[in-house]
Every structure is written in C-alpha cells, then in structure tokens.
Amino acid sequence: MEKVIIFGNGEIADLAHYYFLNDEDCSFQVVAFVVDDNFIKESNFKGLPIVPMSKLQSLYPSNQYKAHIALSYNKLNQVREEKFKLFKSLGYSLVSYVSSKSFYWPDLNVGENCFILENQTIQPTVKIEDNVMIWSTNHLGHNSIIKSHSYLSSGITVSGHTSIGERTFVGVNSSFKDFISVGSDCFITMGSIVTKDIPDGSTVTSKDIFDKNSIVNKKLKKKYFNIN
C-alpha cells in the first residue's frame, strides 16, 4: 500500500478518501489530511490527523509519502493548479485514481493527480494530462486529449480527436463534435453542444459563445468560479 496524504478537508477530500478506502483495486492508504495553516479548525478529519501545511515536510516527508490534491474548481481550477505546482516543487509524487468500475483500454495515458470516477467509457489512445478531475458516466472518444487542470462533470460526450484545454470546466451533459479544439480557461456550461473550435477564455452556453472580453463571460465566471 502506498501511504498518501490528501490536501484538503472539504467535500472533494471526503470523496477522495472514500474512493481510496473502498475501491478494492486501489492501493492507497490515506494517513493524514493537510490544509493551509489559516484553514486549521479541527485536529482530525475522517478519523485521521489534519496537518498544517507549515509542518507537512517535517511530519510527512516527500521521500516517504505521496500526495493527492483534492480540491474543486474554485477560480476556474486555478487554485488546484497552484497547489499541484506547490507540491511538485516540494518533491512530492502525486497519485492518480481511476475507478476500477470504469472501462478503459490498457493504453490509457493518465498524468499525475487525476481523479477519475466510475462508469467512464474511455476509448483507445486517449490522453489525460496532469491534475484532471472527471466525474462519473462520461464518454471519451479515441485520440482525444484532456489537458492539465481541467474539470469534466458528468454525462459528457467527447468525440474522437477532440482536445479540451487547460483549466477548462465542462458542465453536465455537454457534447463535443469530433476533430475540434476547445481552448484553455473556457467555461462550457451545462447542456452545451460544441461543434467548432473554441478560443481561449471563452464561455459557451446552449445558445451562444462569448469571447474572453465579453461582459457576459466575465459575469458568468465571477458567479460560478469566484473570478473577479
């Protein structure tokens, strides 16, 4: 069993702990949770110690423990990216989890710190880069690529040869045509049908596409991701 510390003590950390503990094919033993010093309110979570970030390396050094960043999509995934880079700079290996209750081929290419839940259908030659979160019941078509720090909700269809950009958030029940590219820092809202390339920083709704300078784009990202 690999000894793992989880960064976070909220809903995502709770879920990560549950999946790591209950998936029989998972080889991770969670030994502690770690949070930023100013978020310390309790000494325990799920029966395990909560460690302030300032004491992490002395108590759980990177040569003995691995880590998993269990955060949501705040600031359009920027916070999760920042913590990923921080832990890498401290020398930690970041473990990825792919549910044993998903279907995928042996050539699946998954980076570090990914969290991929049950009932995925992942076709051959799919590449999932670092720090990607993918919730349950999605289809990832052959030769598609999901780039680092992105977040896919449930019920999504990504057709073959499609690229989803860094930090992009994809809402529930969205669909993507084959051979298209979605840029970085995009917000694909729930139920969107994407049939063409999407520029960096855009917001896509079921009716329209708003570029990165659009007032509507900025208002939606502030509302859902706390981006000023």
Q: Do residues 133 and 152 touch, judged by C-beta distance below 8 A?
A: yes
| 160-170 tens-digit pLDDT | 999 999 999 99
78-90 burial, b at 16+ Cβ within 10 Å, e below that, comes to bbbbebbeebbee
pLDDT at 114 over 90: yes
Q: How would you list the strands of the sheet with 181-182, edge to edge?
A: 109-110, 127-128, 145-146, 163-164, 181-182
How many domains is the chain partitioned into structurally? 2
Q: Do residues 142 and 158 touch, judged by C-beta distance below 8 A?
A: no
- Percent of residues, the chain, with pLDDT higher than 90: 96
- Could you count the other beta carbons within 10 Å of the beta carbon of residue 105? 11
Domain coverage including residue 172 = 97-211
Report if residue 220 sits inside a domain: no
pLDDT at 108 over 90: yes
Q: At residue 211, what are phi and psi to the nearest 5 degrees? A: -75, 175
Query: Tell me, what's the pLDDT at 126?
Result: 98
Q: Which residues lie across from 152 on neighbouring strands?
A: 134, 170
Report if residue 20 sits inside a domain: yes
- Both 123 and 158 in one domain: the answer is yes
The CATH number given to whatever domain includes residue 105 is: 2.160.10.10
Query: Tell me, what's the pLDDT at 41?
Result: 87
Mean pLDDT of 82-109: 97
